[in-house]
Amino acid sequence: MKAFLPLSLLLAAWPTLAQDIGALTAETRKAVLPVVPKVVSAMQEAVAEKGVAGAIPVCKEQAPALIKAKRQETGWDIRRVSLKTRNAERGTPDLWEARQLAEFNIRAANGEKPDTLEKSEIVSLDGKPVFRYMKALPVGDVCLQCHGPAEGLDAGLKAKLTESYPHDQATGYGKGQIRGALTVKRPL
Ligand code: HEC
């Protein structure tokens, strides 16, 4: 019996080795992805109602609030990250995330559709298994109004951005480029 102890200890520490990464991905998608179209339509409504400068609070407060609600509902760590942040405090990727964002750009350049780009992996964080998931957020029409080329942005919006985000790097995007990603960490 003793000979089997190490194996059972290993399985206790890594219960997910036996689990299907496909099932974890499907479950994560189902729980988390509905937040994406919600954020986009909140953005579209806000821009239509209040103009671009008036819609800033939607991206600043409402989008993070919708994500926070998902965090509370699932108990998982969910964030938005980007290689070129507007709000570096909230949106700076860790090493794993930065690598996936760079990969997404390469995969898009090789012809994969930006809105299908995602990545799932089980990694070891501080010796514990964690399921990580990322989903690319491509630039659509509404995004261009606040993340497009600086010279084309509304003057009132520019003034507000300069005031609130003096280190803003999140302009200059074109349609279909990858603005960033939704990222999920699930301890297993
Ligand atoms: C009304 C202006 C506005 C529009 C429209 C807009 N954004 Fe943003 N975006 C912002 C602001 C402001 C922030 C910084 C939010 C904060 O302070 O956390 C931001 C932050 C982000 C971030 C978080 C990472 C970072 O750079 O700080 C992502 C990802 C993002 N936007 C993607 C998008 C996408 C995708 C769209 C289109 C669906 C979009 N945004 C449309 C203004 C906008």
Domain ranges for the chain, please list them: 18-187
117 alpha carbon, distance to own chain's centre: 11
Which residues lie below 8 Å from residue 104, measured CB to CB, with a gap of 6+?
114, 117, 119, 134, 136, 178, 181
List, in sequence order, the alpha helices (H) in 133-172.
Answer: 141-147, 155-164
Is ligand 1 within 6 A of the CB of residue 86?
yes
Among 47, 59, 60, residue to substitute to test ligand 1 (most atoms within 8 Å of Cβ): 59
Distance in angstroms (rounded) separating the CA atoms of residues 74 and 35: 12
Distance in angstroms (rounded) separating the CA atoms of residues 172 and 174: 7
Phi, psi angles (nearest 5°) of residue 128: -115, 145
- Centre of ligand 1 from the C-alpha of residue 11, in Å: 42
Nearest CA to ligand 1 atom 18: 60
Is ligand 1 within 6 A of the CB of residue 82?
yes
Distance in angstroms (rounded) separating the CA atoms of residues 147 and 132: 27
Does the domain formed by 18-187 have CATH 1.20.58? no
Distance in angstroms (rounded) separating the CA atoms of residues 145 and 74: 32
Strand partners, 184: 78, 133
pLDDT tens, position by position, 116-127: 999 999 999 999
CA distances from 49 to 35, 46, 85, 109, 160 (A): 21, 5, 26, 35, 18
- This prediction's pTM: 0.89
Distance in angstroms (rounded) separating the CA atoms of residues 113 and 51: 30
Strand partners, 187: 130
Is ligand 1 within 6 A of the CB of residue 52?
yes
pLDDT at 58: 85
Is ligand 1 within 6 A of the CB of residue 137?
yes
Residue 20 has pLDDT above 90, yes or no: no
Confidence category of residue 4, pLDDT binned at 50, 70, 90 = very low
pLDDT at 14: 57
* Length of the chain in terms of residues written: 188
Cβ distance 57 to 47 under 8 Å? no
pLDDT tens, position by position, 44-87: 999 999 999 989 988 889 899 999 999 999 999 999 999 999 99
